Amino acid sequence: MTESQTLSARGRTRVPGRAQPTPHGRSVSGSAGKASYFFVAGYVTLLLMFGIVPVVYALWLALTNSDGQLVGVGNFTRVFADYRFVPAFSHVGLYILYWLISLMVLVVTLALMLHGRFRRTTSVIRFLYYLPGAFAGASSVLLWLILLDPVASPAGFLLRAAGWKTSAETIAPGHLPVIFTVIAFWTGAGSWIIIMYGALNGIPEEVLQAARIDGANPFQIAMRIQIPLLRKWIAYMLILAFAGGTQLFVEPQLVGTASFGQVPAHWSPNQLSYVYAFQAGDFNGAAAIAVCLLVLSLICAAIAVFKARLFERG
């Protein structure tokens, strides 16, 4: 090898940790870095427009009065003293508790069954799981209003056997957290089952096969291998489900209309915020309720992230 060839080979030697030049003289990492900014720019723009800016504006409204003067926590103390505040949050809190428990137990169980027992019919079952998600929130509520009517429902005999003879008895305010949980699970659980199924497919088959060779049964494999490896996915599901559950509005609004006022118009915090803003004209009080929901969601999300070590590798 001549001296010029040796120098050329040395110039092409890859140095770990250093960006490699392209034939045009630009580094690969530099080009990739610029491209990544382009792809992220759209998301950041939308996040600023529809996320950060509205949050800052809501905080400003919550800390000021209608004249734009700072009042500190005055709006918060005012909405806390409202007799409707605690019941609204307790209603949604009970609904979220049922909703998250049903997600954590039933979604993971159905995903494990889909991954194990029903592999031969996976495509059909996945379609059936995902099909209810095609219904919008309002249409699903209207469908369930018919199903919960003892007179019109195909399962009306079950409702009448439970002692409910009219639609008003079925959708009584005390039954709403359970009813909304059923509606939410029917419309939203299918997509989470598919996500959990995909996460289960990401577990190396060698790990599962080694457990079977060691004598582990399906239950032991699920409890000691699969569910621990799904920990981050379960935490992610619970965070998004909690955030969506706190925004409950369409369902109680439609049920309240169908029950001719039997369900109050301030059943959920979002409804109460709507009453403040568009019936009482108190946008500052409505913003205070919205900020309370935001803080509550952030606290619960932070707990889930740190408990599940969501952003840790490995």
The sign of the dihedral angle between the CA atoms of 110, 130, 46, 35 is: positive
Domain covering 85-308 in this structure, CATH number = 1.10.3720.10
**What averages of pLDDT result for each successive group of 10 residues across the chain (314 residues)?**
47 48 51 78 90 93 90 93 94 93 89 71 59 61 79 82 81 87 83 85 89 88 90 90 89 81 88 93 94 92 84 68
Q: Which residues pair with 158 in a beta bridge?
A: none
pLDDT of residue 53: 94
State in Å, rounded, how far the first CA of the chain is from the last one. Answer: 46
The count of residues in the chain is 314
Tokens 């700072």 belong to which residue?
A: 70
Torsion, CA 123, CA 129, CA 135, CA 141, rounded to 10: 170
Specify whether the backbone of 248 is left (phi greater than 0), alpha (psi in -120 to 50) or beta: beta
pLDDT of residue 8: 47
pLDDT of residue 136: 57
Non-local CB neighbours of 22 within 8 Å, separated by 6+ positions: 28, 31
d(C-alpha 54, C-alpha 60), whole Å = 10
Residue 75 has phi, psi (to 5 degrees) of -65, -35
pLDDT of residue 132: 57
d(C-alpha 12, C-alpha 17), whole Å = 15
